[in-house]
Chains A and B, each alone.
Chain A
Amino acid sequence: MKFTCTTKEIAAAVAAASKVVNVHTTVPVLSNILFTTQDGKIAVRATDLELTLEQAFPAEVQEPGSVTVPARLFSSFLANLAPGALELSGSPTRVSVKVTRSNYDFHALPPDEYPPLPPASSGVTFSLPVKSFRDAVTGTIFAASNEEARGAVLMGTLLEVEGTTLRLVATDGYRLAKYELNLNESVSVHERFIVPSRALGEAARNLGNAERVTLTALGTHSNQLRISAGDMTLTVRLVDGQYPNYGQVIPAKFDRSIQVNTEGLKGALKRAQLVAGDRASMVKLAVTNHILVVTASSDISGNAYEELEVEQSGDDLTIAFNARYLVDILDHIETPQTAIEFLGPLSPAAIRPAQTEQGSNLLYVLMPLRQ
């Protein structure tokens, strides 16, 4: 194998791919990245067997073939190169790199040891604008569980496609994020995939400047999902299991609601959280006569009291939340005003952006704390 390319392009592709590599793997070849020649391009592939990232970049191919190189070492080497042209040639056990007057040799492992890509038989496929996908992913995955003890299902994000609607749902049992998107084309089947949240995060980060992203279920039992945009293809193993019936935790109707300034509430909560201090970070929200009072107290730190003006409809209410969860949610609301709906002090509250397009797509549900 032999090709010539720019140091900038190969460094970017290798840096993206090497993030997937697991340095502690027991399979030596998985510490490497695989270079394969394609039509006028080079594909860089890295995998930890759960997530496979393939990134292509333009190159002048002199000899077709494949080579593998140690990911972290090669990525660090490329990051320290000055801009210019690079020539890479390789055999199954050695890779040589020439850059102007430098010449480096790296030990390699045979490319045929690299795990093959999953079977190409594909199932449901749909595409959407990259921006919509990125917004949906960043707006939901933070709500997924990060506790392994709660199981892989809750660590994943549900992708549900039905007709022209794509729904992303993530929950850790205390909070829930739901984002709905409209697809241009209708999908004939109702499919549900549980995708590891980290994989979705990696996908959103690596979408680059592409306009559309295509998602395709792979395998006879839809065991993997391929996410491709431009020169990037990410293939991820799906989580096996039954996603909880999230619809049950979203109240059908609410009897009280407020509209509050997003940044004002976020600031008040962050300050009150400092005083609340303990593990649950309990803050109380009391709504009376268009005033929202945020209070927190602890034996160690003292008391917090903040007032905010709100638009109120319905009766007065006092409810307690974990401040950290509420701040996390407000961090993902882009509108100046946030709408919060309540059913009672012990029922889940619904939080969404007020009066915008984002508001119609996005819904957060947060469980209150017992006061």
Chain B
Amino acid sequence: MSAAPLVFDVVGAAGPTQFFSRLPLDQLAHAYLFSGPAGVGKKTFARRLAQSLLCHAPKPGILGYDESCVSCRLFTAAEDTRHPDFLEHVGSLKIGDADAPMGFYESAELSSRDLVRLLSMRSYSGGRRILLLGDLEFATHHAANALLKFFEEPPSGVLLVVTTAAPGRLPGTIRSRLVEVRFGLLSRHEVREVLLRGGCDPDSAQRACALAQGSVTQGLAALAGQEESLRAAVAAWFFDVVRGRTPQSTWATRETLNEGLAMLKTLVRDWSALGLSEPVPLLAADYAQELRCLEPPSRTELLAWFARIDDAAHLARTNVSPAMVCEAVRMSLTRAG
């Protein structure tokens, strides 16, 4: 009886796939950093990598799994994997309670200390143990320090995979202990395929992939109308600030900061374009009427704002909180207004 063919079912990620395909198993590092824009399949790739490493089917390299094997059956198509040797945590990580009573994982929130203890246990099924920390952020530097030794020298048989859209936000001490693998944007065809697999109807998938700019997350946001609502929120905030009013709400989160700053830059650019003697096409034409009501900015003000927004975009790639970044821009624009 011939063995079932092995699969490695990810869309896109040609570079990382090639990297791991060529890597001999004995040269697999103890920790990887999957970096790249949000929504390009970093966590999915990490899950499939974990499935490949835990799969019982014999194979020459690292990638590939036999979906019928006992281990692979615990990896569902959805994200709630049930394999006892695969641990996944997405989002912010706190240090945990040092005075927690002796025992197993019982806190409501997985912490750095929980992870260290959980991965100090031997494997459930006798093979590797794999930890995926998706969209990793450390709540405090103590949380990062608690994992420092662990990232440097995890117990034997443990593989750590960290994914992030902003590697600059990770402490340098953590980042230096990880082997970085970059993920590029998806093609339109790839975004469409992911959306169709996710249950999107063909028309919506087509519409979303046109707006996705290579990111499934952005495509889904466009479908849900979030992109439009963010644009409107940023515009409302901008007009409040330049008129000297205190904005009623904030739009800045880790996920929206880059996009929001880009929208602010567009509005400032259009505002300056309206003051030119020759007509220039506007990028946010739907706000032209409101922009015309404002007094045109001076050349000095414009230069200062563009510089401030670029500074903010740089800060957005660091560990500075989104609210602080937004506040820095507000102070600059308020003085101008």
Chain A positions near chain B (C-beta within 8 angstroms)? 22-24, 26-29, 48-51, 113, 115-116, 118-119, 144-149, 151-153, 155, 196-198, 219-224, 237-241
CA A29 to CA B125, docked complex, whole Å: 18
Q: Is B126 within 8 A of A27, CB to CB?
A: no
Q: Is A240 within 8 A of B155, CB to CB?
A: yes
Check A24/B116 contact, CB under 8 A, given A148-B98, A152-B121: no
Interface size on B, residues (CB 8 A): 34
The answer to the question of B254 belonging to the interface, with a C-beta cut-off of 8 Å to chain A, is: no
CA A219 to CA B84, docked complex, whole Å: 15
Q: Is B82 within 8 A of A22, CB to CB?
A: no
Check A146/B102 contact, CB under 8 A, given A24-B107, A49-B84: yes
Secondary structure of the B contact surface, majority rule: loop
CB distance from B159 to the nearest CB of A (A): 14
Collect the chain B residues with CB atoms within 8 Å of residue A48's CB. Answer: 104-105
Secondary structure of the A contact surface, majority rule: loop
Q: Is A240 within 8 A of B120, CB to CB?
A: yes
Collect the chain B residues with CB atoms within 8 Å of residue A115's CB. Answer: 74, 82, 84, 124
Across the interface, name the chain A residue whose C-beta is closest to B107.
A24
Q: A22-B105, A50-B104, A221-B122 are in contact. List 10 more A-B contacts (CB 8 A).
A: A24-B108, A113-B82, A115-B84, A153-B120, A155-B117, A219-B125, A219-B126, A224-B124, A240-B120, A240-B122
Q: Is A118 within 8 A of B126, CB to CB?
A: yes
The answer to the question of B298 belonging to the interface, with a C-beta cut-off of 8 Å to chain A, is: no
Q: Is A29 within 8 A of B82, CB to CB?
A: yes
CA A54 to CA B177, docked complex, whole Å: 41
Check A237/B121 contact, CB under 8 A, given A115-B82, A149-B98, A223-B126: yes
CA A196 to CA B104, docked complex, whole Å: 9
Counting chain A CB atoms within 10 Å of each CB, the highest count among B118, B120, B123 belongs to B120
CA A147 to CA B113, docked complex, whole Å: 10
CB distance from A152 to the nearest CB of B (A): 3
> Can you report 30 residue pairs joining A to B where beta carbons are below 8 Å apart?
A24-B105, A26-B80, A26-B88, A27-B82, A50-B105, A51-B104, A115-B82, A115-B84, A115-B124, A118-B125, A146-B101, A147-B98, A148-B100, A148-B113, A152-B120, A155-B102, A196-B121, A197-B102, A219-B122, A221-B122, A221-B126, A222-B122, A223-B123, A223-B124, A223-B125, A237-B122, A237-B123, A240-B120, A240-B121, A240-B156
